[in-house]
Amino acid sequence: MIEFYPEIKLVHVGAVIASGSLFATRGTLMLARSPLANHAALRYLSYAIDTTLLTAALMLVTILHQYPFVQAWLTVKVLLLVVYVVLGSLALKRATTRRVQVGCFFAAIAVFLLIASVARAHHPLGIVYTVTHAVAEGSRP
């Protein structure tokens, strides 16, 4: 199955981009107080994209034999994913006040970006590791 790795990774990355874009769109609609933010078509599209994303992720784990709770960076991704889902749910439908709703939306976007940086760096600190590593490399003679 390793021969399908590039295609599966492409599907995974595409689904990440689609999922994040759709969440940002729905969040923007929520900020504008539009009822379209929770329109059934957008919700079902979100379910389809996220199912594709999860399926591709599980296929990659199986192909690469890299597992959460064994590799630290994957563990961080899974834990941050749970935080992202909770924040997203609060932002789009469950928050009881507008302030909490808006705060959760922006926090969810920040967590989404952190998850992406952890994935790119293959390191639990994500962008923090990338930046500090680059600074340390640049300071060497």
Q: State how far the Cα of 47 lies from the Cα of 85, in Å rounded to an integer.
A: 12
The radius of gyration computed from the CA coordinates of the chain, to the nearest angstrom, equals: 17
Neighbouring-strand partners of residue 71: 68
Instruction: List Cβ neighbours of 34 (8 Å cut-off, separation of 6 or more).
Output: none
pTM of the model: 0.90
Domain that holds residue 16: 1-65
Element at 129 (helix H, strand E) = helix 127-138
Same-domain check for residues 57 and 115: no
The verdict on 53 and 94 lying in the same domain is no
Per-residue pLDDT of the chain (141 residues; tens, 9 = 90+): 889 999 999 999 999 999 999 999 999 999 999 999 999 999 999 999 999 999 999 999 999 999 998 999 999 999 999 999 999 999 999 999 999 999 999 999 999 999 999 999 999 999 999 898 888 777 655
CA angle (99, 102, 118) in 5-degree steps: 135
Residues 41 and 84 reside in one and the same domain = no
Rounded to 10 deg, the angle between the 127-138 and 98-121 helix axes is 50
Of 37, 65, 93, which closes a domain? 65
Dist. CA 53–CA 44, nearest whole Å = 14
| Total domains in the fold of the chain | 2
